[in-house]
Structure 1
Amino acid sequence: MSPAPQGLDPEQLRGRLDRERPGLVNGPLTARLIQGGRSNLTYAVTDGTNRWVVRRPPLGHVLATAHDMKREHRVISALVGTAVPVPEPVLLCEDDSVLGAPFYVMEFVEGTPYRTAEQLAPLGPERTRDAVLGLVDTLVDLHAVDPEAVGLGDFGRPEGFLDRQLRRWGKQLAASRGRELAGIDELHAALGRELPVSPAPTVVHGDYRLDNVLIGEDDRIKAVLDWEMSTLGDPLTDLGLLVMYSRRLELPGSPISTTAGAVGHPAPEELIERYAARSGRDASAISWYTAFAWFKLAVILEGIHYRYTLGQTVGAGFDRIGDLVPVFIEHGLTTLQEG
C-alpha cells in the first residue's frame, strides 16, 4: 500500500465519515493527491469500491478567508439540482483536529480536465468545438440560477463589485511588487476610468475555464470544479476570463496552460456571441472585462515571480513566470484600446 499523501490521514478521515455518515465507507481508505490545482489541495479517496474527493487548504496556509472550505461546500450544495453540474457534497468538517485544517468531501465524478491544446488534440476538431461551446452554455446556466431561490442571496456583496475587485487586485500588486513593470499602472488606471455599469448580479465562479470542469466521454460537462473564488457579482467577469483564456498565447514553453491553440477551438468572438444570444445579456463591454482578466492574471503571475525571487516558490517553470507578466500587461492594454 502506498504511503498516505501529506495533509490527509485516511484513518482519521474514515473515523469522521463513520461517525457522520455511518455505512458509507466499506473498508480501509487509501488516498492520492490529484495534481493540477493552483491553490487548495484535492485528493482522490477510495475504499476499494467507492470513490470520493477531499478538498482542504494548502499545507501551512495562513489566510483562512482565501481557502474557505465552508464557502466552497455551500455553493456546490446550493447548486445540486440546478442545471449546473456539480459533484454531490458528502461532508463538511470544520474541526481542524481531523486533518489539520477544515475540509469537505464530495462524490468522485468521472471526467477529464483538459489543460492544454495537446490534450484536446485526440478529440479532433468537432468534439473540441462541442466541448468548448458546452463550456459557454454551462456558464449561461450558472448565471441563470436565482441566488435567492437556492439560498445564496447573501453569498456576496454585488454592490460596487467591479470597483472593489479593481482595488483588491491593485493592493495585491502593491504587496508583491519587486521591480518596474512598464504599463501596469497605466492599465490599472485605464480600467478604473472606464468602469462599466454591471448587469444584475449572479453567482459567479471566479475562475471559469476548461481545466476547471470535467468533460465526459460524450463531450458534455459532468462537473464544474474549484469554486473557491465564487461569489455574487458581475457575471461578465466570468465571460471576460473565459475569453482571455480563449486567446492564443504564442509563448513556446509557457508554464501557463491554454487550450486555445487546439484545432476546432472556437474563436473568442463566437464564444461572446453565443453567451450574449443565450443569456440575453449585453456583452458589448466585454473588452473591459477581458482586459481586467489580463490585468488580474498579470498580478497573480507577478506575485508568483516575486515569491520565486525570494526563494519561497520552487518547481518547474517558475523561473519563466516573470517573463510572462509584460506579455499579459501588453494584451490588457491592447484589448482595452480595441474595445
Structure 2
Amino acid sequence: MSTPANLHPTGPSPDGLDLQVLAAYLAGTGILGPDSVLHGTLISGGKSNLTYRITDGTSRWILRRPPLGNILPGAHDVTREHRVMLALGDTNIPVPRMAALCENGDVLGAPFYLMEEVSGLILRAPEDVSQIPEVTRARLGAALVDVLADLHEVDFAQVGLNTLGNPEGYLERQLERWVRQYHKIKVRELAYIQPIADSLASYLPRGGKPAIVHGDYRLDNLIVSEEDPAHITAVLDWEMATLGDPLADLGILIMFWDEPDRPFNPITNGLMAAPGFMSSDAVTNRYINRRNLQIDSMDWYLVFAKFKLAIILEQIHVRHLRGETRGEGFAGVGDMVTALLNSAMDNVSKSPSLGTAKGRFHG
C-alpha cells in the first residue's frame, strides 16, 4: 500500500528544508512517485541563496531557496532565476531544465524552485583548475567569453523576457540601488564607499544596446563537462539577471579574471591565474570582436563591479554576524569587503577616465 502524500517517507531534513512537506508538494504535482523516498543535502560553496541536492533514488534535482533570516527587498529572487532559465531553455545558452516553481512561502516558508541536476564539474578553487590541461584551459577561457557574448545577443523580447527589467537608466539605478542597500544594512564605516560612489555617479557611461544581463557571470557559476572541461554545460545563479547594459557583465567577468601579475579577487582567489587562460585585455578584445562592438574604456564597469560585489558581501557579512548563514566559508567575508573597496579605489585613482567628484551620495 502506498504512503499518503501527507505522510510521504523521507530522509532527515537539512537545515532550511522540510523534506516531509516538500515530498508531499512534489507528489501532488506528479514529480515524485507515490512510493518514492526523498532525500536532501545542503550543497556548500555558495554564499547567497541556499542550494540543496534532492533525490528520490532515481532522479536528481537541485532546489534553490532564499537564505534564512531577514532579506532586503529585491534580494535573493529565486523566482527570477527560474523565469530566466526557463526562457533561455530553447536558446543556445546552456541552462538546466526547470522542474517546479513555488512562488510563495506556503510550502517551505519561502519561494523556491526545482531544476534537474546537470552532471559535470564546478571549478571553485585553483586546485580544481590545475587538474585541467593548459590547452583545455585556453579553450575553456574562450568558451567563457563566447557564452557571455552570445547571451547578450539573445533577443529578450522573442524569449518572453521583455518585462524582466527596464533597461532605460539601468546603470544609474544600479548605482543608486547598491548605495541604498549599503545604508540599509550598515553596521560599520567602510572606507571609500562614498568617494567610489561619487566618482561612478560623475562619470556614468551612456550605455549601449540593452541585453539580458546575468549579474554574476564567472567561472565558478558554471558547470563544465567532465569529459571535456572546455565545454560549458550550464550557466547558474541568475538571481540578479535583468535587462540593462551588457558591459556590466563584462566588467564582472574581468573582475573575476585573476591574473598572475595583479592581486587576486578575494572571491576567486587566483582561480584563473593559471597558464592557458588568456589575459583580461584579451577577454575584452574577444568579446567586442564577437559582438562587433567598439569600447573606449572598461574602467567604469570594472570599478562598479568591485563596488557592487563589496556591498553584496557586506550584506552576507551582516547576516553572518547575526547567525543567519548556513554552511562554511563566511568568517572571512568581512575582510573581502575591505579588499575589494581598496582595489576599486586604486582603480579610480589610476584611471584616466575616472576621478574624484563632489558628493552626490554624501550624507
- TM-score where L is the length of structure 2: 0.84
Pairwise CA distance, 1:228: 0.5
Q: Deviations over 1:151-196 (max 9, x none)?
A: 0011101110101111111122333444444433222111111111
Aligned mates of 1:27, 1:311 — CA distance in 2:
34
Distance 1:325 1:56, change over 3 A: closer
Give 1:267-278 correspondences, 5 Å limit: 267-278=279-290
User: In the TM superposition, what are the counterparts of 1:226-305 in structure 2 within 5 Å?
Assistant: 226-248=237-259, 250=263, 257-305=269-317
Using the TM superposition, give the Cα deviation of residue 286 of structure 1 relative to its aligned residue in structure 2, in angstroms: 1.3
Instruction: Trace 1:205-244 onto structure 2 (pairs within 5 A).
Output: 205-217=214-226, 218-219=228-229, 220-244=231-255
TM-score (norm 1): 0.90
Counterpart amino acid of residue 146 in structure 1: D
* 2:118 match: 109
Question: What is residue 76 of structure 1 aligned with on the other side?
Answer: 85
| Alpha-carbon distance in structure 2 between the residues aligned to 1:26 and 1:179 | 52
2:54 to 35, 45, 50: 45
Aligned residues: 338
List gaps (5 residues or longer) in structure 1: none
Measure the CA separation in 1 of the matches of 2:328 and 2:59.
34
Secondary structure of the corresponding residue to residue 155 of structure 1: coil
Partner of 2:162: 153
Task: Give the secondary-structure state (helix, strand or coil) at the position aligned to 1:6.
Answer: coil
- CA spacing shift, 1:202–1:324, aligned 2, 3 Å: same
Which deviates more, 203-212 or 127-136? 127-136
- Give SS of 1:206's match: coil
> Do the aligned residues in 2 keep the contact of 1:14 with 1:25 (CA within 8 Å)?
no
Partner of 2:142: 133
Residue of structure 2 equivalent to 1:118: 127
- Greater shift, 304-313 or 169-178, is seen at 304-313
Deviation larger for 254-263 or 202-211:
254-263
On the 8 A contact 2:12/2:19 being kept in 1, the answer is: no
| Number of the residue aligned with 1:89 | 98
Name the CA distance, whole Å, in 2 between partners of 1:315 and 1:5.
11
* Structure 1 contact 236–283 (Cα < 8 Å) conserved: no
Cα distance in 1 for partners of 2:135, 2:224 equals 14
2:223 aligned counterpart, secondary structure: strand
Q: How far apart are residue 224 of structure 1 and its match?
A: 0.6
Name the structure 2 match of 1:330. Answer: 342
Q: List per-residue Cα deviations over 1:214-247 (Å, max 9, x = no partner).
A: 0112121101111111111110111000000113
- Matches of 2:310 and 2:264 in 1, distance apart? 15
Whether contact under 8 Å (1:157, 1:232) holds in the other structure is: yes
Cα distance in 2 between the residues matched to 1:92 and 1:9: 16
Bigger mean CA deviation after superposition, 168-177 or 29-38: 168-177
- Contact 1:7/1:100 (<8 A) preserved: no
- The one-letter amino acid of 1:67's match is H
Q: Quick one: distance in 2 between partners of 1:58 and 1:301?
A: 14
**Distance in 1 separating the partners of 2:323 and 2:68:** 17
Query: 1:12: Cα distance to partner?
Result: 2.5
Contact 1:5 1:33 in 2 (8 A): yes
- Gap runs ≥5 in structure 2: 1-9, 354-363
Give the AA of the match of 2:237. D
Which has the higher mean CA deviation after the structures are superposed, 307-316 or 256-265?
A: 307-316
Cα 1:288/1:250, change in 2 over 3 Å: closer
Cα distance change, pair 79–311 in 1 and its aligned pair in 2 (3 A): closer
Deviations 1:53-74 (A, max 9, x none): 1111122344463233322111
**Paired residue type of 1:325:** V
In 2, the alpha carbon distance for the partners of 1:303 and 1:94 equals 23
For residue 66 of structure 2, what is the aligned residue in structure 1? 57
- Partners in 1 of 2:342 and 2:93 — Cα distance? 35
Cα 1:40/1:182, change in 2 over 3 Å: closer
**Distance change in 2, residues 1:170/1:27 (3 Å):** same
**d(CA) in 2 for partners of 1:314 and 1:56?**
12
1:314–1:85 distance in 2 versus 1, CA, 3 Å: closer
